[in-house]
Amino acid sequence: MNMVKKEDADFYMLLASSIHDMKNSLSLLMHSFEEMYADVSRENTKEVERLALLNYEISRVNNDLIQLLGIYRLSQERLPLNVDEHFVYELLEELILKNEILFNLHGIHCNINCDEDLTGHFDLNLITGVINNVLVNAARYAKKEIQLIATKDKNYLCLSVADDGNGFPINMIADPGGHMKNINFHTGSTSLGLYFADKIATMHKEGEKVGYMLLENNGPLKGGVFSIYLP
């Protein structure tokens, strides 16, 4: 039995190491893409469309690798939570700049609805990863607009991503805790990002208050809304 456990531990360690290596290689690929994008004429619409698809897929795979690595560290109780006070507007602004190429290629306008003085206590690295993943996916399903919203709601900091797409499937909204059940091999959706977001949300605690996430439709842009609530 101990031998089996040791072999399992070795396998997962090897898997985590491989994911880390793939993530580093993908970072180099993303840098090369940015150079390609800078050299392409905006009048070459066919090439721009190809780059849009390439950019989305690279970003999606990179986010999946980061989340897989995070889930592994969570399972090993090795994912640290570094909570500090941060200006929320600055976080949202940086996320838009980070995905500017993606938004431009898809013709999407992304705006912020947040008080510039709003602050919150959370792990900046983990929450940045969660919101960034939602933004990348929203860019695929939105028609023309995405809105980043941040408010204080009953002593919780609420960070939301709203789009003007067709919204979330009803079964996903009805069972927000069962994200990994919603695997769709036709679309390639594993709901890994939602599973990871849920885990990160619940890591944030203050007294009896625990963070959580919420999915809704018919939001301010008439599409889906992803929200994460942090105490």
Could you read off the pLDDT of 76-89 as tens digits, one per residue?
777 889 999 999 99
Lowest mean pLDDT segment, chosen from 14-28, 45-59, 170-184: 170-184
Question: What pTM was computed for the model?
Answer: 0.81
Q: Is residue 45 part of a domain?
A: yes
Whether residues 66 and 99 share a domain: the answer is: no
pLDDT, tens digit, 9 for 90 and up, residues 134-185: 998 899 899 999 999 999 988 999 999 999 999 998 888 876 655 555 544 3
Whether residues 91 and 67 share a domain: the answer is: no
Whether residues 129 and 200 share a domain: the answer is: yes
Round to whole Å and give the CA distance between 212 and 200.
9
pLDDT band at 10; cut points 50, 70, 90: low
Whether residues 103 and 43 share a domain: the answer is: no
Q: Positive or negative, the Cα torsion across 190, 170, 161, 187?
A: positive
Q: Is residue 186 part of a domain?
A: yes
State how many domains the chain has: 2
Whether residues 123 and 23 share a domain: the answer is: no
pLDDT band at 193; cut points 50, 70, 90: confident
Whether residues 36 and 98 share a domain: the answer is: no
CATH code, domain with 178: 3.30.565.10
Q: How crowded is residue 182: how many other Cβ atoms within 10 Å of its Cβ?
A: 16
Say whether pLDDT at 5 is over 60.
Answer: no
* Parent domain of 14: 2-75
Q: Is residue 146 part of a domain?
A: yes
User: Final residue of a domain: which of 43, 75, 107?
Assistant: 75
Whether residues 127 and 220 share a domain: the answer is: yes
Say whether pLDDT at 26 is over 90.
Answer: no
User: Final residue of a domain: which of 53, 75, 97?
Assistant: 75
Q: Is residue 80 part of a domain?
A: no
User: Final residue of a domain: which of 15, 41, 75?
Assistant: 75
Whether residues 9 and 111 share a domain: the answer is: no
pLDDT band at 74; cut points 50, 70, 90: confident
Say whether pLDDT at 130 is over 50.
Answer: yes
Contacts of 98 (CB under 8 A, 6+ apart): 132
DSSP string, 92-160: HHHHHHHTHHHHHHHT-EEEEES-TT-EEEEEHHHHHHHHHHHHHHHHHH-SSEEEEEEEEETTEEEEE
